[in-house]
């Protein structure tokens, strides 16, 4: 199985947090890697920079987007928990959560509008939706290095 993109991770992450407990990122990364049946190679595959595993990065971005929508909160560094609004989303039995779904939440709309102001150089929106911002930067950097 290929490593899922950050949008495919959003719903399983929110469901994982639906027990109402505080969870560490390390804990959820392991649990979701098991849920997605990732191989040891996929769990350790690094971003082009070699600084962080791809899956860890994508779980981090899924958490960030859910937080920006108000579905998760981070009570302390490296930990998160679900909000009442997040619990309501889980109860709706969504088939998936993606950027389009999150666009119904005012906090997420504000976040995206701020991001768009900073992201005017972006030309291929579909490609950006499939990668995390960190991956987009690193892929762009690799492209520039090859052209030089």
Please give the backbone phi and psi of residue 98, each rounded to the nearest 5 degrees, phi first: -140, -175
Dihedral, 87, 14, 75, 55 alpha carbons, nearest 10? 180
Question: Which ranges in the chain belong to alpha helices (H)?
Answer: 6-17, 25-35, 40-44, 54-68, 84-91, 99-102, 106-118, 125-130, 133-147
Pairing of strands 72-73, 23-24: unpaired
pLDDT of residue 3: 95
68 with 62: CB under 8 angstroms?
no
pLDDT of residue 132: 75
pLDDT of residue 75: 94
Low-confidence ranges of the chain (pLDDT < 50): 121, 123-126
The DSSP code for 2 is: P
**Mutual orientation of helices 6-17 and 25-35 as an angle, nearest 10°?**
110
pLDDT of residue 116: 62
pLDDT of residue 142: 78
pLDDT of residue 114: 75
CA distance 40 to 34: 10
pLDDT of residue 123: 47
CA distance 65 to 111: 9
């Amino acid at each position: 199985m290929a490593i899922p993109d950050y949008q495919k991770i959003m719903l399983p992450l929110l469901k994982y947090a639906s027990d109402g407990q505080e969870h560490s990122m390390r804990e959820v990364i392991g649990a979701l890697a098991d849920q997605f049946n990732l191989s040891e190679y996929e769990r350790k595959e690094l971003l082009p920079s070699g600084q962080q595993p791809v899956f860890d990065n994508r779980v981090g971005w899924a958490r960030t987007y859910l937080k920006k929508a108000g579905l998760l909160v981070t009570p302390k560094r490296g930990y998160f928990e679900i909000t009442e609004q997040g619990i309501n989303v889980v109860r709706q039995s969504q088939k998936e959560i993606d950027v389009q779904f999150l666009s119904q939440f005012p906090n997420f709309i504000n976040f995206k509008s701020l991001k768009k102001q900073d992201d005017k150089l972006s030309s291929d929106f579909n490609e950006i939706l499939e990668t995390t911002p960190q991956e987009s930067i690193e892929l762009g950097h690799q492209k520039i290095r090859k052209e030089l």
